Amino acid sequence: MEKDVTAKKMISRIAVIGPESSGKTTLCGELAEHYRTCWVPEFSRNYISGLSRAYTQQDIEYTALEQLKQEEKALLHAQYYLFADTELIIAKVWSLDVFHSCPAWIEKKIPELAYDLYLLTSPDLEWIADPVRENAGRRDYFFDWYKRELDSYGFPYFIIGGLGKSRMQHAVSVIDGYFNKIKT
């Protein structure tokens, strides 16, 4: 057991957050491939799309817990970095926006489970509709909300923008620069 704890401490956890259709999933996959590590897809996408009813606040809680479980499993296989395609700030904002409240445990866990770095994706990509996306006209609104959340917690983050390969190159440059600076 002690070996697992030590291994986890050597992995830098990077959360990719941002509004819908801002390239989070693509960026996570590309970064994991670039750094030869693993990433944790957004559990809620498949879960919510599989429901035959409207989702509830309890569904948001369930998907948040499952996301954390998936991340714990992935930490065992990660090399240097682990990329997460969502985290609890998104669950908080989603819950507040739709249900006007957030479960206390989510708010409590956000600072306790802080990531080493956050990449906030800019909504500068073209909107691509899919069955679970709800906020085509509110991407800037959510981008600003996520930014305020990151600022309020004092979490280290960088805004990632750009199209195509430049977006990925921007993220790699940020990650390399940030973690090299920490090492020195």
Count of the separate structural domains present in the chain: 1
Residue with the larger pLDDT of the pair 133 and 36 = 36
pTM over 0.85: yes
- Provide the residue range defining the domain that includes 87: 2-183
pLDDT tens digits along 157-181? 999 998 889 999 999 999 999 998 8
Alpha-carbon gap, residue 166 to 150, rounded angstroms: 24
pLDDT tens digits along 18-58? 997 788 999 999 999 999 999 999 998 888 778 888 889 99
Residue 156 pLDDT exceeds 70: yes
In this prediction, residue 136 carries a pLDDT of 67
Confidence band for 3, pLDDT divided at 50, 70 and 90: very low
Q: What is the largest CA-CA distance in the chain?
A: 52
Percent of the chain with pLDDT over 70: 88
Residue 4 pLDDT exceeds 60: no
- Give the side-chain half-sphere CA count within 13 A for 7: 13
Alpha-carbon gap, residue 181 to 179, rounded angstroms: 5
Q: What is the CATH number of the domain that holds 165?
A: 3.40.50.300
Closest CA to 15 of 111, 97, 95, 118: 118
